[in-house]
Each structure stands twice: as structure tokens, then as C-alpha cells.
A and B are shown apart, each in its own frame.
Chain A
Amino acid sequence: MILESFNDAAKRSIYSLQEFFALAGKAIGFIFVKPFYAGDLFQQMDAIGVGSLGIVLLTGFFTGMVLALQSAVQLQTFGATDYIGSLIAGSMIRELGPVLAGLMVAGRVGSGIAAQLGSMRVTEQIDALNTLGTDPIKKLVTPRVLASLIMLPVLTVINDFVGILGGSIIAKFYLGKPASLYWRTVFEQMLSGGFTLHYIPNDFIQGLTKPFVFGGIISLVACYHGLKTTGGTEGVGNATTRTVVSASILILVVDYFLTQIILAVFQP
């Protein structure tokens, strides 16, 4: 009996995974196939990018400040407070910027996508698209995935910048370090990790690959749960919750493995 239910659960999980990757494959494949829904793409870029700007600015700025405060205490012990800019830049660009932007967008945009597509599913709007001769994946999923792939790296760069800016305020007013010293250490840090193709700092490769992958994870997980919604308004709520939980966990897990891979490939 237990073995049977375990077997059923395993089959369901494998089937769900298969469906998820089929959706991902189609959605990404449709990026290169006509018709292109440019209007939908720009609308989604606006909703995902511009719409998330406020929370990304706030979280980035305060994370940078609190990181600087905590680090200052540690660095003071070793008399190394001159390197605060280096520490903030390294942490924000490689790790905190992408992960924080990813988690914020998963909460704000992922839940929104799941709720919107879930509502469309339960009110038969997805079936209506099908009957009107439109592939719902092409019309609804592809623009959301592409917009997330483009906008999450942009949001991450903004997040990194305001985080480093927040750190500079603490460096100036808490540690009394001149701004020129802080920004010089920031740029030294960016260039210290080596280069790819002679010009691209490896920190940037790491800092931009992650949000690109996270953007794909958030949008695909949200679209998958949204399109699979059943059971009316309660189902929409469940799809939203499942999206935020699974996208957040996936971001953290994938972040670890991505870091391992990037370090192995791009470590000078």
C-alpha cells in the first residue's frame, strides 16, 4: 500500500517534470517563430521591469547599507575598513544582487503571472485562445519568459548599483572613509576576478548569468502553475502560493550549483 502510493507520487512527479520541460522547450522555441507578439512583450517588460523597480531599489539600497554596517564591525577588528567597498561590491555583484532581485521578482511578478494565467484558465480564456486559433504558450508564456530573461539582469544591475551606493553612505558617515577610496576599492574588486574574452570581468559574467537563469525559472514556474490551475478561485490561490514557494527554493538551490559551475569555468 505504502509502496503503491510512493510509486504513484513518483509517477506524478516525473510526469509533472516532463510537462514542465515540454512547456519550457516550447516557450523558448517560440521566441524564434512568427508571429511575434511584440506588444505583449513590451507590456510584460514594463510590468516585470518597471513594475518591480521600486522594490528592487528599496531592497538593494537597504541590503547594501546593512551589509556595510555588519561588515564594518568585523573589518574594524582587523583594521581593514579601507576594503569595505571591495567587500560590498563583491557580495552584491556576485551573490546578493542576483539572489535578492530574483526573490523579490519571484514574490511580486511570479505570483502575478500565476494568478493571471490561473484566472484565465478557470474562466476558460485559455480555451478561448485555443479555439480562436492561437497557441496560448506562444501568446502568453513566451512574452513573459522573454521579458523576464531580459528584465531580471537589468533589475539586478540596478540592485547591485543601489546596494553599493547604500554601502558608500555607511562607509562615509559611519566609518568616515572618503568616497574616492570607497569607489576605487569597488572598481578594483570588479576587475580583480580576471576577464573573459580579455574585456569582460568575470564578476560580471557571474552577476549576469545568474539573473538570466533566475528570470527563466521564475517565469516558467509561474506560467506552469498558472496554466495547470484547476478548482476555481481556490485553485488560483494555490497556484500562486506554489509558484512563490517553488520559484524561491529553486532560485536558492540553482544559485549554489551555478556558483559551483561558474567558479569552475571562470576562476582565473
Chain B
Amino acid sequence: MSDDEDRRGKDERRHPSEKDETAMPRRAHDSGRVRAAIRTELEEVAESTAELQARTGVGHGEKVITLENISLAFEDPILENVSFYAKSGDTVVVVGESGTGKSTILKLLLRLLIPDKGRVLIDGEDITGLTFDEALKVRQKMGMVFQGAALFDSMTVYENVAYPLREHTVLSEDAIEARVREKLQFVDLEPDRVMDQMPSELSGGMKKRVGIARGLANNPEIMLYDEPTSGLDPLTTATITYLILKLQRELGVTSIVVSHDIRSAFRMGSKIALLANRRIGFFGTPEEMTGSDDPYIREFLGGF
């Protein structure tokens, strides 16, 4: 019997009324070890991501997305003086605790919300002052993947992916079918097997992949993802992370990903924006983040 098993056996034999004086210090000690291990893992991931991105030249182009001093409040303040940018081909992952306004940033980029102060620039154009119809046109440059995929449940997979093409292009039905097949294959789905299925017949991971295919249908320059890996098993999480990386490398799409999954964030992000207390607490590469001495950042990374 190993020492650990022996100790566990003794703990289980102890009567619940007996006070375990050593419990708290041991837990704190274990927690410290776990945090250190997580940080080491994140540092390794950050290094390999940095190497890969240096090789592929990600994030060296023009600024495609810029948020400048954005402030937004409903009844309470949501965002205060938030600024960050994404260069062509960048994948910026916005991380932060739940309820810090991460998804609000995506709504600002889509101009579903207008900031109280500041500017949102897409390809250098300020979209905050656009009319509703002008905003619809800007949105066509973007593909969005929702947390729950948000597939239209009255339409088949084919009709879902074809929707933006039918809505905004004059492509023939044959051309649309070819594009739908191409996008479904890109997200590793067999078109002949899934095209006629309804969203309710798909698993969570397949729905996410169809959501990505629909977002990609119009060949957008920008992809936005809202919690793409939330609620998925580790294997499907890895598949979705791989797909986002594939998009970045093969198509050079600029992406903003909102996530609370820091491991995936480090794998896919060329830059990380940490949202804390309504402000950007950190904006930089994953490598810079793991090297930061800021107590909040170290606490945040250790918490995962």
C-alpha cells in the first residue's frame, strides 16, 4: 500500500467527530501544488503557441478590430474604459470571471449594443454611429458562433448553413450546395450524413461545428465565438479548439473568442484580454500573461 493510500485509509477510519487538525494546512498545501502545476502547464502551452504563431506570422497585419475606451452601463456599469485590438489573423481570447461583461463585448462588435462612450472600429470604420441597415451590412463581414450554437431549429443543417448565402448572395442553388458541403467538410462533418438532419438530432459538439460552418458560409474576415467550448466534454473541447486554430492558420481569419476556459484560451489565442472589474486588466500574449507578476493575474491563472 502506498503512503497516500495508507493516509487515506486512516482518514476514512477516523470518526467524523474527531477534529482533523491537519486538514486545512494539507488542503492549502495541495492547492498550492495544483496551482503551481497548472501554471507550469499553461506556461508550456503558451510557449508552444508563441512558437507556432511566430512561425505562421499571425497578428502582424493591420488592425482589423479596435475597441477604444469603451464604457457601457445599463442600470449598473458593465464596462469601463475598455480598449484592445485584433490585428489581421489574430485570435484574441477575452477571458474573465463569469458576469464580467465578456459576451457584451461581442454584442458591441456586432453593433447589437451601442457603447455610452468610446469607439468600435471594424477595418478602420467606426460602427457606433451606423444606422440599423448599415450595421446589417457590417455584420456580413462577421461570422458568429453562439454558446448554444443557436441553430434555427425549424431548418435542416443544410438550410442553416445555406441561410446566409440565400440571404445575401445571388449564388445558384448548385453553388450554394457546393459551398455548404465545403464548409461542413471543413468542420469535419460528413455532408451526406448530416445535411438533412434537424438540429435537435445533433449532439452538442456537432451543433457547435454546424454553428461554425454557418458562421463561415459567407467567408467572413472576422469570426466571433461566445464560449465555444462551454458545456462540452474534453475530447469535443479539443476538437473545437483545433477547429478554431485551423481557421486561424488555413484561412487567416481574425477571431475574437470569449471564454472562461483558460487552457483552450492559451492554446488558441495569439493574444489574451483579461476582463476584471469592468476593465481590461491585461492585454498581451499568453507568454506575457504567464510571465506577469501581477497578483490578480497570478491568482486568476492559479484558479484554473
Contacts and interface: CB of A to CB of B under 8 A. Distances in A.
Contacts of A130: 110, 112, 139
Nearest to B140: A133
A134 B112 CA distance: 12
Interface string B131-144: 01000110110101
A134 B167 contact: yes
Interface stretch (A121-129, A154-162, A212-220): A121-129
Interface string A39-66: 0000000000000000000000000000
Chain B contact surface mostly: mixed
Interface string B107-139: 000101000000000000000000010001101
B147 interface: yes
A123 B168 contact: no
Contacts of A188: none
Contacts of B140: 133
Nearest to B139: A133
B139 A127 contact: no
A134 B150 CA distance: 15
Contact of A135 (B136, B144, B163): B136
A123 B163 CA distance: 18
Nearest to A134: B167
Contact of A132 (B148, B164, B224): B164
Nearest to A125: B150
Nearest to B138: A133
A131 interface: yes
A124 B145 CA distance: 11
A163 B24 CA distance: 80
A124 B140 CA distance: 18
Contacts of B163: 132
A133 B137 contact: yes
A101 B106 CA distance: 44
A144 B150 CA distance: 21
A128 B106 CA distance: 12
Contacts of A134: 136, 167
A132 B136 CA distance: 8
A135 B147 CA distance: 21
B146 interface: yes
Given A133-B167, A133-B168, A128 B136 contact: no
Most buried by B among A119, A124, A132, A133: A132
B3 interface: no
A133 B164 contact: yes
Contacts of B148: 123-124
Contacts of B110: 130-131
B132 A131 contact: no
A223 to B, nearest CB: 16
B112 A127 contact: yes
A231 to B, nearest CB: 16
A15 to B, nearest CB: 14
Interface string A110-128: 0000000001100111011
B146 A132 contact: no
A128 B150 contact: yes
B69 to A, nearest CB: 25
Given A123-B150, A130-B112, A135 B139 contact: no
18 contacts: A120-B152, A123-B148, A123-B150, A123-B153, A124-B147, A124-B148, A124-B150, A125-B151, A125-B153, A128-B144, A128-B151, A130-B110, A130-B112, A131-B112, A131-B139, A132-B214, A133-B139, A133-B167
Interface of A: 119-120, 123-125, 127-128, 130-135
Given A124-B148, A125-B152, A130-B139, 13 more contacts: A123-B148, A123-B150, A124-B146, A125-B150, A127-B112, A127-B150, A128-B144, A128-B146, A128-B151, A131-B144, A132-B167, A132-B214, A133-B164
